[in-house]
A and B are shown apart, each in its own frame.
Chain A
Amino acid sequence: MNRYCKAALTGMLLLSMLGTAGCGSGSQTPAHTITVICKSQDSYWDATKLGAQDAGEEMNLNVIYEAPEREDSAEQYRMISEAISAGTDAIVLAPVEPDAFNDVLQQATAAGIPVLTIDSDVSYADRASCISTQNVSAAAIAGRYAVSLLEDGDTVGIISHAVSSQTAQERTSGFIGEVMGTSSNTPGDAPKEGGDAPQPQEGEGGGEAQPEGGDQPAEGGGENADQPADGSLPIPDAPAARALPEGSASGFKLLQPVDCGGDTVVSRDSAMQMIRDNPDLDLIYATNQPGTAGVCEAVATMIADGEIEAGQIKVVGFDYFGDSYGTNAYTYVTSGVLNGVIAQNPYNMGYLGVRYAEKLVNSEDVAATVDTGAALITADNINDDDIQWLVDPTHK
């Protein structure tokens, strides 16, 4: 009897303790699986991955993150196809090309799997939502900032990364629109690839009317698609696009954009050549991360070499960068070489991509397009908490 009593009482105590002390955070089985496929394993996408994983953790989702080693549409196609076969509940895709996935995305839709895009869009009509930086808007921010740095008659150069790329076109047109005072682009007006994006060409006395016309460059396989094999400066064939707007209110002189294929070295060399060829050059705008890094390196080198004075050439860039380019953007900004750089919000793309995917799985409505915005980072705000978090989301 005593033995049974002890056993029973011990059982009660343990049961009671379990009920009171335990009951900790019981991990629940993830409700849904969300597959996130990014463009490459470049460090830029680390923030997107982190955002997607944070959303998965917060919403109890199984987030599968995948990305090709390098931007590769075939590899992305395979990943999408495998995700559909594996029975994923939703796909969040950062497409390297807008038209390469229509058939496989059609399969996803047929299987009841919602598809969202992040960073850039696809031409597939039934994608549920696109969460990205509106490149035209972001470039317009850069343009407005450039204007604030310029005086009438100043000369502006553009280091582009691929004239055939929709991204490059939007970032160029958005910038030029603001600088030349003709911006009418709003997020809803962003031109689609293959549309008539402005393609200014070099011309003395900016604002001079040029005939519009010429073939739109063929689409490439990503931002670096048209990089020349021989390393020469890939100046686009003129006339490549319609002329700079006539009657620019600014009176700024705009040089023909130089396509550097998204290569840092080419961008650096092109910027140096541009500065040497145009003694009156006042500002260079770079349309992507390698271009910005290359321009900064060129300006810093020429200042160091005494070719130009500090502050003579102002630089406005796109996409903040870390130590992978030797000198990071923080150093260039705080030293005055890089006056301002546009930073996208890849973390929010990943986070909102997964968040919206879960909403779609639960048959909730989501916006067809979401502009995650862009921040202009300058020496004035680079140490602010929100900017520090933006450039390094792992910074708590």
Chain B
Amino acid sequence: MARHIAHRLMVSLPVLLGVLLIGFLLLQVVPTDPATVSAGPSATKADIDAIRQEMGLDKPLYVQFGKYIARVLQLDLGRSMISNRTVSEEIGNTLGPTVELMLACLIWAAPLGIVLGTLAARKRGTLIDRCIMALSVMGVSVPVFWVGLLLIQYIGGSGWLPFQGRDGPLWTLAGAKSIILPAITLGAIFVGPVARMTRTSLLETLNADYVRTARAKGASDWRVTIRHALRNALIPVVTLIGLQIGFLLGGSVVTETMFSWPGVGRMAVGAITSSDFPLAQGAILVLAIGFMLVNLLVDVLYAYLDPRIARA
């Protein structure tokens, strides 16, 4: 197990370096010279040069990259060019709502997807199966923003539920109400893939020997499906749900922007459109690293659930 984790960490190292390189590049394209800015308008050329030396901007790029990594490790991501707050502070404020939104989406969409997938696999080839699969392919084809627009138009527009921003923490009534529409929007594109993965995985396990044995022992159809087949079929599904977090991330950037949800994705989009490079760098870095960590976690979880993986 420990070896498996160590191996996974080694594999993610180049990815991490790539992410850091992108973050570093983002700071390099800033059109204004940071030394000139921090020297102030009345500075002479000598002053600017002195500050440049002090900031290490005269060093070769790879040295600067090394320093950049050291700074990121200390969570020093610079300051936003617009709000002038530190990037870490901005991220600290937005990370919570993003995680909240993702969890609120997973909590209904994943179980629903698993139920629909199980139903489709059990009723394979029937009308029910066809309908569920048709719904699933529609779910992966629909643009997230259309789901959001329809919900805003019909439910938000009639004043039933709020659709602008986050009205407080999840445990307050106002906060819980304000997360409903974004969570439905994001979940709508997630049910389909989960249902499909569950169906495929379950169809494979339903043919397994131990399922036949359970049948031979006289267990009822649904008992066989749920107790014997589904429990084993869910192992790959858990992994695949984890891997779909990247897909979910794409949806959440759009959803947050549409519903003015104060998350990292919306902040990233805002920072990019307003050319706030340090903030954009921080937001992208956090999203990428967060995604990597989730993948790592899922991988370890998979090895825990299915010990054959770690031994391979």
Are both chains from one complex? no
